A and B are shown apart, each in its own frame.
Chain A
Amino acid sequence: MKYKILKLLARNARYTSEEIATMLDITPAEVDGTIKELEADGLLRGYKAVVDWEKLDNFYASAIVELNVVPKAGLGFEEVAKKIMGYREVESVYLMSGSYDLNVVVKGKTLQDIAWFVAKELATIDSVTSTTTHFVMRRYKELDVELVSGDEDDRGQLFV
């Protein structure tokens, strides 16, 4: 049941407890109880909206930055990852397999902002040996949500 509730919330965090309870054939109290438990256990980490920032008049830019890092004895990549996480400009940090170590998603108002941030902040961290910045040109889908309008519902040609 925990898994089912998580799946529904991951799809739409605004489902009410009543709706979730109805869909899963349990009581709203059970839903609330389970959600509290999941929050306390750290499985449910937050509820955020998926925003298409580009639709606003505000400037919005983002980039994926690949970092090569020298891991520290005893600490591995943890120390530098934590440092990078702390920046407000950083949206996500992943340790990667393959040709580089950390994948950092950075957002800012303009490409210039991001370029400065990488040059001044990320590149200058001691254990970072190189950075490669890829600017995002268009976001098609984010967190399972399509940001470009999908195909129209083309059903309904027939009455069945």
Chain B
Amino acid sequence: MIDYSKALNRTVMDIKPSGIRKFFDIAATMEDVISLGIGEPDFQTPWQIRKAGINALERGKTKYTSNKGLAPLLNEISDYLDRKTGVKYSPENEILVTVGGSEAIDAAIRAIVSPGDEVIIPQPSYVCYEPITRLAGGVPVIISTKAENDFKITPEELKAAISDKTRVLILPYPCNPTGAIMEKEDIEKLAYILNDTNILVISDEIYSELTFSGRSHCSPASVDGMRERTVTVNGFSKAFSMTGWRLGYACAPKEIMKEIIKIHQFAIMCAPTTSQYAAVEALKSCEDEVKEMLEEYNMRRRLMVAGFNRIGLTCREPKGAFYAFPSIRSTGMTSDEFCEKLLFSKKVAVVPGTAFGESGEGFVRASYCYSTEHITEALHRIEEFLKEIKQ
């Protein structure tokens, strides 16, 4: 008999499976559940993008592409980033098309981190950075960002987290789940600290198109002195409603990209060809569709944030992504308790803030990738729940 506990990778075995999964599996078995749990657009992929994918299939474009991706797509990405951020990346050797932003994050961390290196990760944030760091033999160093700082990283927090082993700073902005963004002056303060160090930055900008209130997302590479140390990660899932197409990209100076591409070359080979053809169309002709979705998200965002504040759950204005992150401290419950009780008594599913790191305690994440009617009904049930627990 094999002793599997000795047969498998110890680092992998030590990684805890996402606890939230269990919670959602319960929700899935209940009837009439209103979920605010899903972090995925409810819009269909715009038709012309789907059609471009269909055309590629019809023309028999079903072979591998080059490792780094289709030339027309690399060119479009280069133009797009120049247009949006003013940062120029060469389609020749500074851009890599990946299987979602996720692969780009994984490959970037693995390309940079050697065993024992430290990776600074601000939390609450998306759940992948910590396990990927561990798989690379790295040591996660967590910055607990604070609500009173709008969940931004402050220069003091960064300084305190840096040691001589620090290799990477992850910048997950616009942020899932907090909705925080980092504006130009915020990044400049961090850039000043990183100046004259060998610390690299991985900037996960998958929500970059989704910012509100006239506040725009600042791509760290666009700030003086940052381009040379930054791997910019982005993708098509959120902005173009293309989650299932699995397509993202990484951009970095060629010295960094040279190493990232090796990992992609051997582990993945190339991103799905159909998706790449579709993505060319997305960047070429979907500015209007993206704008329209953004306007819709913005209306839902205002409805949800105003709703939470009205029923007594303090909710700061999320300036990016598509989540509200209200505080549930006033209920005296932990995030886990709140979510569980809300699910069982009112059949509303929201995600406990602790799923995104310990510093998410006292908060829950509610996605507004839902119709306004759905959001209104969910808020109504949460209001009833709050009234009942007060009695």
Closest to B296 in A: A23
Give the contact stretch, choosing among B35-43, B269-277, B383-391.
B35-43
A159 in contact (CB, < 8 A): yes
- Given contacts A12-B372, A19-B372, A160 and B39 within 8 Å (CB-CB): yes
We find that the number of chain A residues with CB closer than 8 angstroms to chain B is: 14
We find that the number of chain B residues with CB closer than 8 angstroms to chain A is: 25
The 8 Å CB contact of A156, one of B18, B38, B302, B303, is B38
Whether the Cβ atoms of B24 and A156 lie closer than 8 Å is yes
Residues of B within 8 A of A92 (CB): none
For the complex, would chain A's binding face be called helix, strand, loop or mixed by DSSP majority? loop
A88 in contact (CB, < 8 A): no
Closest to B237 in A: A160
Tell me the number of A-to-B contacts counted with CB atoms below 8 Å.
43
Residues of A within 8 A of B127 (CB): 159
- Given contacts A19-B303, A23-B303, A25-B302, A160 and B40 within 8 Å (CB-CB): yes
Closest to B176 in A: A160
Whether the Cβ atoms of A159 and B18 lie closer than 8 Å is yes
- Given contacts A12-B372, A156-B35, A160-B176, A22 and B302 within 8 Å (CB-CB): yes
Closest to B37 in A: A156
- Given contacts A22-B306, A23-B303, A160-B176, A155 and B38 within 8 Å (CB-CB): yes
- The CA-CA distance from A29 to B114 in the complex, in Å, is 61
Closest to B39 in A: A160
Whether the Cβ atoms of B28 and A156 lie closer than 8 Å is yes
Whether the Cβ atoms of B372 and A23 lie closer than 8 Å is yes
Whether the Cβ atoms of A159 and B302 lie closer than 8 Å is no
Residues of B within 8 A of A156 (CB): 24, 28, 35, 37-38, 40
Whether the Cβ atoms of A24 and B299 lie closer than 8 Å is yes
Whether the Cβ atoms of B18 and A23 lie closer than 8 Å is no
- Given contacts A156-B24, A159-B20, A23 and B42 within 8 Å (CB-CB): no
CB distance from A149 to the nearest CB of B (A): 15
Residues of A within 8 A of B20 (CB): 159
- Given contacts A22-B302, A24-B299, A159 and B24 within 8 Å (CB-CB): yes
Interface flags for A13-39 (1: CB within 8 Å of B; 0: not) read: 001000100111100000000000000
- The CA-CA distance from A153 to B349 in the complex, in Å, is 15
- The CA-CA distance from A23 to B21 in the complex, in Å, is 32
Instruction: Give the B-binding residues of A (Cβ under 8 A).
Output: 8, 12, 15, 19, 22-25, 153, 155-156, 158-160
Given contacts A19-B303, A153-B42, A160-B40, 14 further A-B contacts (CB under 8 A): A8-B299, A12-B372, A22-B303, A23-B372, A24-B299, A24-B302, A155-B38, A155-B40, A156-B24, A156-B38, A158-B40, A159-B37, A159-B351, A160-B126
Instruction: Give the A-binding residues of B (Cβ under 8 A).
Output: 18, 20-21, 24, 28, 35, 37-40, 42, 126-127, 176, 299-300, 302-303, 306, 351, 355, 369, 372-373, 376
8 residue pairs, one from A and one from B, having the closest CB atoms: A23-B299, A160-B39, A22-B306, A155-B38, A155-B40, A156-B38, A22-B302, A159-B20
